[in-house]
Amino acid sequence: MSDQKVWFITGSSTGFGRELAEEVLAQGYKVVATARKPETLSALVKKYPQTARVARLDVTNKDEAHRAIEEAVEEFGRIDVLVNNAGYGLMGALEEPTDEQIRQQFETNIFGALNVMRAVLPQMRKQQSGHILNISSVGGFIAFPATGYYSASKFALEALSQALAGEAAHHGIRVTIVQPGAFRTDFNGRSLHLPETRMTEYPATDEFVSWLKEMDGKQPGDPRKAAQAMIKVVESENPPLRLPLGEDSVTAIEAELEAVKKDIAPWREVGIDTAYAGATFGAIGGK
């Protein structure tokens, strides 16, 4: 049995959110599970009437985010863990999606996450404790053909998470960026959004989208094991800032780090030799 931390999980109707809510409840924690259609979560409350609660939340609605957080605190008295899981993937070449599709991708994946974080932070500061898990992706560290807008939203989420980790540590608030690879959720199916008009000029984009569709239902990652890994991180005394999940994510990120070093190396002196004569630099941030 756990110490009954209170978890607040967005996008809990399917995928990672649903698996995580079920595993967290099974391990004895309290959960406020949220979804745009809360009736999809009624089975959770029926199975765990003492520890599960459901709240309506469209993360793009700032007022709903504040209301859901307030309801959670009224019910359980605190929020120990926020999981920003709600999101989807818009795939396509940079020229393909409409302006509306592009803006909606950012409204959900980045501004939606911000709405919830900004709503929960005052409570966590009051508690002087808390842990925020922001669900990113291997695509939040590496951009592939067709993932430009999705990856841009996740890159932004990772930047905000890293900044927040430094800002909020003083208040006992921890931040972890979760970077899943290919897991057997509905990301490659229902949650995969494509432009209304496709172009033939970008074959690499078509190849990647076709691969995503072919992988649907065959992904190697087990969402329940991912949920268990996230719980382990929350219970850790020294949680990481970044948590890649899946061998594909771990090895791809490791390879990308090496590629960046290799890319920088031959141009290192060119980059360094751009200061005024005699000027010296300290560490960024003064540390």
Q: Average pLDDT of each block of 10 consecutive residues along the chain (287 residues)? A: 82 91 96 95 95 97 97 97 95 94 97 98 98 97 95 98 98 98 74 82 84 75 92 97 96 98 97 88 71
- How far apart CA 63 and CA 68 sit, in angstroms, is 9
Q: Residue 185's pLDDT is what?
A: 73
Annotated catalytic residue 136: yes
For residue 59, which of 138, 132, 117, 14 has the smallest C-alpha distance?
117
Respond yes or no: is residue 137 known to be catalytic. no
Catalytic pick among 29, 48, 88, 150:
150
In angstroms, how far is the first alpha carbon of the chain from the final one? 41
Catalytic residue among 13, 29, 48, 136: 136
pLDDT of res. 2: 43
pLDDT at position 279 is: 86
Question: Is 88 tagged catalytic?
Answer: no
**What is the structure's pLDDT at 1?**
35
Q: Which domains, ranges and CATH numbers included, belong to the chain?
A: 6-248 (3.40.50.720)
**Per-residue pLDDT at 281:** 75
Dist. CA 81–CA 231, nearest whole Å: 10
